Chains A and B, each alone.
Chain A
Amino acid sequence: MSETQLIFQLSHPGRSATSQAPKALSDDKLSAIPAHLRRKQKPALPEVSEMQVVRHYTNLSSKNFAIDKQFYPLGSCTMKYNPRGANRAAMLPGFLNRHPLAPESHSQGFLSCMFELQNFLKEVTGMKGVSLAPMAGAQGEFAGVAMIRAYHEARGDEARTEILIPEAAHGTNPATAVMCGYKVREVPVGKDGDVDLEALKEACGPQTAGLMMTNPSTCGVFERQIEAISKAVHEAGGLLYYDGANLNAILGKVRPGDMGFDVIHMNLHKTFATPHGGGGPGAGPVGVSERLLPYLPTPMAGQRDDGSYHWVDSDTLDTSIGHLSAFMGNAGVLLRAYFYARSLGREGMIRVGEFSTLAANYLLKRLEAVGCTAAYPDRRASHEFILTFAKEAKELGVTAMDIAKRLLDYNQHAPTTYFPLLVPECFLIEPTETESKEALDEFVDAMAAILEEARSEPDMVKEAPFTQPVRRLDDVKAARELDLTWTD
């Protein structure tokens, strides 16, 4: 594929997509703006025709892998099919044109969807209250830990300065704890992928504000000691935070609320099939147990006795941790999740956990059979699992990164690599419930072929990919000779 020029290189002075903007106004219409506040030079935006723009970005889009094109088994990211119907429904004019500050009289349709979505999420997670406000998983984590802090502060319990986090945790967990003003203490994970319970018990104390964990964990296994962990943290006076990135594995099967979690976030851009958009947007609603209800972020949707809907805001819930954005969250994402929840219904929710787990366990067994090494061979996979290529790296010099890049040549998106950090040379693989058996089998065939290549022509694998718009990129140069904007 040829190099695509930048939009700026297509620019010609005086060209424009004239039908997209109103006509120029005479300067006297702008006389109310004092001259010294006026921009002196027009911004150097591209001057291009409408078709040039359409062609340019359409061509750029073709340089992406995407779920709509490829198997995309990124562990921890739940790259499942994003129903097109959800997109169309969220883009209905009544939803698209509704101003976030429109009065309740003109918001009943939208509010009803949000109110119902809150209730669905409560039901599937077993929590007592849900706020849809957080804009992504990490903001949900922030809301959750800020609520933990508000809870301790309301009780005058000021000595709690630490959040416990298993070492396998996602990077957003420790980063969030720090954003909420806490110190982070890492808890080791045992050889079987479960948390080291003794170490955890030792780490718990009067300084413990809470524990953040994912279950199934980022090791791709269900944390079997969850009840003992919950007991240890609660007895120390801490609260239990559930990172819901892996909710897909247990949707309809086990509920975080029943496992003893006090606060959770969900990633609707994972579990509820909203698209990831090449980096976002997401939505990271939070759910809480009884004792954290007063602190939920606002606004939320409420219902009056007469059936009408209203906003619950910080003026009525003055213990709330407040607003996390200017308005109510990523509404358009929430509408897509609402569509998904309505189309799955009760039975469909249960099937998500079942079939994502079936797919992962099948894929794991088949990959083991073609010579891949499981990181936790004695454990059931949850909806995802870890392979390690430590042996290949040592014996053949072919790393997880090399294999990941070679997969692209087989038209398979690479799994998550080098996460969690505690398993060397690892892949975290999450096939999701929406991939057919044939798609899984093709991935197995690709992996088998690459393992063979790693033995027969390791130098070739180390130079992959060969079929993409670019070969491997010079990341060192990118960081050393920063080029972050185009200069004409």
Chain B
Amino acid sequence: MPYIPHTPDDVRAMLDAIGADSIEDLFDEIPAHLKAAGKLDALPEGLSEMDVTRLMNERAAMDAGAVSFIGAGAYQHHIPAAVWEIATRGEFYTAYTPYQAEASQGTLQVIYEFQTLMTRLTAMDVSNASVYDGASGLAEAVLMSLRANRKSKSRKVLVPAALNPRYTSATQAIVENQDVALETVPFCQEKGQTLVDSLKPHEGEDFAALVISQPNYFGSLEEVDALTDWAHANGMLVIAVVNPTAMALITPPGEWGAEGADIVVGEGQPLGVPLSSGGPYFGFMCCKQKYVRQMPGRIIGRTVDMEGKQGFTLTLQAREQHIRRSKATSNICTNQGLAMTAATIYTSLLGPDGLTNVAAHSHANTQALADKLTAIDGVERAFVAPTFHEVVLTLPKPADQVLVALAEKDVLGGVSLANDYGMANAILVNATEVHSEQDLQLFEQALKEVLA
């Protein structure tokens, strides 16, 4: 029996101890007509590890082999071998949430280190232990801003159109149930940035927060200082959505404008987590100290044991569902612990210089790619704003068609902006440190052929 250790003798002995004749007797409190007997017939026969592995090998191989330039919220980076070898050690991989602190000091210290790393990357005061992903993290940040902004009575938040549209739609799906409205701020068609001018119509209006994405979905760097100061001058909190790799090069949200951002969220995937079809990733969430009691999710504190020795424990639990139930800051319970563990190991391995170099190469490679592609007739940068490691290119043909044709050549040439922005000929492309000169040339060559 797969994974079940009992021999017939064990079963007999166990039933005897219970005083039951058969296992079926143990289900005698379930009304007989509800029993599922015979109803699982459509399930296949069980397979050995060798056979399932063979099957899944075949499936995985079907999806392999292309060179990808897709970013749009999930990025390829080199992941040091040590990261997942350690993260998948049974001691991390098969532990539960660290409720029994004395028997979970490993996980607890990792989280405390993670919290420290994230606050240092973002220049914020405090961090939680992760939420599901960047997009749902933004939803949590929006709800948090309503609680934290005591000056505002509004249930509205300003969201830039240049924010990743997947973040907007997930946030919308989550917060609309509590009658929270997201109001869109348009972007400058020429620059691909969110301008303070486009916020002016909302001057003096009551919004709980302004969301600022750095970089934004188009890869453009926003003028974060001006946006932050505008929001604060208008009584709003600032929710920053940032790329963690970019933090090594770009001003962190804690230093935006005069006062810095109030809440910071983002997708942690670039820090050592594989693309893996969209998850498991992890959302990170940081804030100013004064808002820590409004933060959702688990938070670890350093304390001492009864002998005065340093130890780590879950703290501020009165925010959480298992204590506060309907009055909790969120319903989140299980988070993305293992991905957070991997990110902690990754960030420690890279250090300040390593992460800076990864960010710099990603930026430079994307610039080089854009230069190569825009040398092709009819291919142009869509916007003039400076970019980090993603750019929007306009093509002389419909983006959707071009991407299909590229895919036939095993080049995944980015994502189309046709559906989300009505920019029928625009694609969003990304390169990182993993792309070699050869990869860039491959894309260039393929695009030339497709456009010819």
Beyond A224-B29, A470-B101, is A342–B14 a contact (Cβ under 8 Å)?
A: no
Complex CA distance for A354 and B166, rounded to whole angstroms = 42
Complex CA distance for A38 and B252, rounded to whole angstroms = 9
Complex CA distance for A113 and B58, rounded to whole angstroms = 11
The interface residues of chain A lying within 8 Å CB-to-CB of B248 are: 39, 42-43
Question: Min CB distance, B363 to chain A, in Å?
Answer: 6
Tell me if A20 and B354 are in contact (CB < 8 A): yes
Beyond A33-B363, A362-B18, is A279–B328 a contact (Cβ under 8 Å)?
A: no
The interface residues of chain B lying within 8 Å CB-to-CB of A126 are: 36, 39
Tell me if B56 and A335 are in contact (CB < 8 A): yes
Partner of A68, one of B94, B300, B344: B94
Tell me if A278 and B348 are in contact (CB < 8 A): no
Tell me if A365 and B17 are in contact (CB < 8 A): yes
Beta-carbon nearest neighbor of A421 in chain B: B325
| For the complex of A and B, 8 pairs with smallest distance between CB atoms | A327-B278, A345-B46, A279-B337, A68-B90, A277-B338, A94-B60, A100-B278, A21-B354
Tell me if A54 and B46 are in contact (CB < 8 A): no
Beyond A32-B387, A92-B57, A109-B60, is A39–B304 a contact (Cβ under 8 Å)?
A: no
Q: Mark B82-119, 1 if CB is under 8 A from A, else 0.
A: 10101011111111111111111111011111011101
The interface residues of chain A lying within 8 Å CB-to-CB of B339 are: 277, 280-281
A421-449 residues with Cβ-Cβ distance < 8 A to B are 433-437
Most buried by B among A20, A105, A348, A413: A20
Question: Min CB distance, B48 to chain A, in Å?
Answer: 7
Question: Min CB distance, B382 to chain A, in Å?
Answer: 16
Tell me if A99 and B135 are in contact (CB < 8 A): no
Complex CA distance for A112 and B174, rounded to whole angstroms = 28
Does A290 count as interface, using CB distance less than 8 angstroms? no
Tell me if B94 and A276 are in contact (CB < 8 A): yes
Does B369 count as interface, using CB distance less than 8 angstroms? no
Partner of B70, one of A102, A333, A351: A102
Tell me if B178 and A470 are in contact (CB < 8 A): no
Tell me if A279 and B298 are in contact (CB < 8 A): yes
Beyond A276-B96, A321-B173, is A94–B64 a contact (Cβ under 8 Å)?
A: yes
Tell me if B40 and A350 are in contact (CB < 8 A): yes
How large, as a class, is the contact surface on chain B? 35 or more
A310-341 residues with Cβ-Cβ distance < 8 A to B are 314-315, 321-333, 335, 338-339, 341
Q: Mark A445-488, 1 if CB is under 8 A from B, else 0.
A: 00000000000000000010100111111110111011111100
Tell me if B93 and A30 are in contact (CB < 8 A): no
Does B207 count as interface, using CB distance less than 8 angstroms? no
The stretch among A196-204, A233-241, A250-258, A386-394 that forms the contact with chain B is A250-258
The interface residues of chain B lying within 8 Å CB-to-CB of A277 are: 92-93, 95, 336-339, 341
Tell me if B313 and A329 are in contact (CB < 8 A): no
Complex CA distance for A64 and B103, rounded to whole angstroms = 5
Question: Min CB distance, B334 to chain A, in Å?
Answer: 4
The interface residues of chain A lying within 8 Å CB-to-CB of B61 are: 92, 94, 109
Does B184 count as interface, using CB distance less than 8 angstroms? no
What's the A-B contact tally at a CB cutoff of 8 Å? Answer: 698
How large, as a class, is the contact surface on chain A? 35 or more
Question: Min CB distance, A310 to chain B, in Å?
Answer: 14
Tell me if B352 and A92 are in contact (CB < 8 A): no
Partner of A30, one of B127, B364, B403: B364
The interface residues of chain A lying within 8 Å CB-to-CB of B132 are: 135-136, 139, 281, 324-325
The interface residues of chain B lying within 8 Å CB-to-CB of A315 are: 419
Does B43 count as interface, using CB distance less than 8 angstroms? yes
A/B interface sample: 24 pairs, CB < 8 A = A6-B109, A22-B358, A33-B249, A46-B351, A47-B351, A68-B93, A95-B60, A101-B74, A109-B58, A123-B39, A126-B39, A135-B336, A138-B332, A171-B333, A254-B34, A255-B39, A269-B334, A279-B337, A327-B74, A342-B52, A434-B5, A468-B103, A475-B313, A484-B126
Tell me if B278 and A478 are in contact (CB < 8 A): no
Beta-carbon nearest neighbor of A94 in chain B: B60
Tell me if A355 and B63 are in contact (CB < 8 A): no
Beyond A254-B34, A269-B334, A479-B315, is A325–B89 a contact (Cβ under 8 Å)?
A: no
Complex CA distance for A106 and B5, rounded to whole angstroms = 40
The interface residues of chain A lying within 8 Å CB-to-CB of B378 are: none
Beyond A252-B40, A280-B280, A324-B173, is A4–B109 a contact (Cβ under 8 Å)?
A: yes
Partner of B325, one of A95, A174, A469: A174
Complex CA distance for A36 and B173, rounded to whole angstroms = 36
Beta-carbon nearest neighbor of B138 in chain A: A326
Beyond A342-B44, A343-B48, is A326–B4 a contact (Cβ under 8 Å)?
A: no
Most buried by A among B19, B311, B348, B364: B348
Complex CA distance for A473 and B98, rounded to whole angstroms = 13
Beyond A39-B249, A65-B103, A331-B279, is A21–B353 a contact (Cβ under 8 Å)?
A: yes
Tell me if A66 and B93 are in contact (CB < 8 A): yes
Q: Mark B214-231, 1 if CB is under 8 A from A, else 0.
A: 000000010111000000
Tell me if B63 and A474 are in contact (CB < 8 A): no
Does B141 count as interface, using CB distance less than 8 angstroms? no
Does B31 count as interface, using CB distance less than 8 angstroms? yes
Does A419 count as interface, using CB distance less than 8 angstroms? yes
Does B452 count as interface, using CB distance less than 8 angstroms? no
Partner of A39, one of B103, B251, B349, B387: B251
Complex CA distance for A80 and B3, rounded to whole angstroms = 9
Does B310 count as interface, using CB distance less than 8 angstroms? yes
Does B347 count as interface, using CB distance less than 8 angstroms? yes
Does A91 count as interface, using CB distance less than 8 angstroms? yes
The interface residues of chain B lying within 8 Å CB-to-CB of A21 are: 78, 350, 353-355, 357-358, 433
Does A127 count as interface, using CB distance less than 8 angstroms? no
The interface residues of chain A lying within 8 Å CB-to-CB of B27 are: 222, 253-254, 357, 380
Complex CA distance for A349 and B333, rounded to whole angstroms = 27
Most buried by B among A314, A332, A419, A470: A470
Partner of A66, one of B44, B82, B94: B94
Tell me if B321 and A322 are in contact (CB < 8 A): no
Does B189 count as interface, using CB distance less than 8 angstroms? no
The interface residues of chain B lying within 8 Å CB-to-CB of A47 are: 351-353
The interface residues of chain B lying within 8 Å CB-to-CB of A255 are: 36, 39
The interface residues of chain A lying within 8 Å CB-to-CB of B299 are: 484
The interface residues of chain B lying within 8 Å CB-to-CB of A50 are: 80, 82, 349
Complex CA distance for A470 and B339, rounded to whole angstroms = 26
Given contacts A276-B96, A328-B277, A463-B306, 13 further A-B contacts (CB under 8 A): A16-B353, A39-B252, A97-B68, A99-B277, A100-B279, A102-B66, A123-B42, A142-B331, A277-B336, A324-B136, A362-B18, A473-B306, A478-B315
Tell me if B46 and A419 are in contact (CB < 8 A): no
Complex CA distance for A277 and B299, rounded to whole angstroms = 17
Question: Min CB distance, B336 to chain A, in Å?
Answer: 5
The interface residues of chain A lying within 8 Å CB-to-CB of B279 are: 100, 135, 281, 325, 327-333
Q: Mark A173-214, 1 if CB is under 8 A from B, else 0.
A: 011111111001000000000000000000000000000000
Does A396 count as interface, using CB distance less than 8 angstroms? no
Beta-carbon nearest neighbor of B179 in chain A: A181
The interface residues of chain B lying within 8 Å CB-to-CB of A62 are: 91, 106
Tell me if B303 and A259 are in contact (CB < 8 A): no
Tell me if A119 and B42 are in contact (CB < 8 A): yes
Tell me if A278 and B252 are in contact (CB < 8 A): no
Beta-carbon nearest neighbor of A487 in chain B: B116
Complex CA distance for A275 and B348, rounded to whole angstroms = 24
Partner of B104, one of A16, A39, A64: A64
Does B177 count as interface, using CB distance less than 8 angstroms? yes
Q: Mark B404-422, 1 if CB is under 8 A from A, else 0.
A: 1001100010010001000
Does A229 count as interface, using CB distance less than 8 angstroms? no
Beyond A37-B221, A106-B412, A484-B300, is A184–B326 a contact (Cβ under 8 Å)?
A: yes
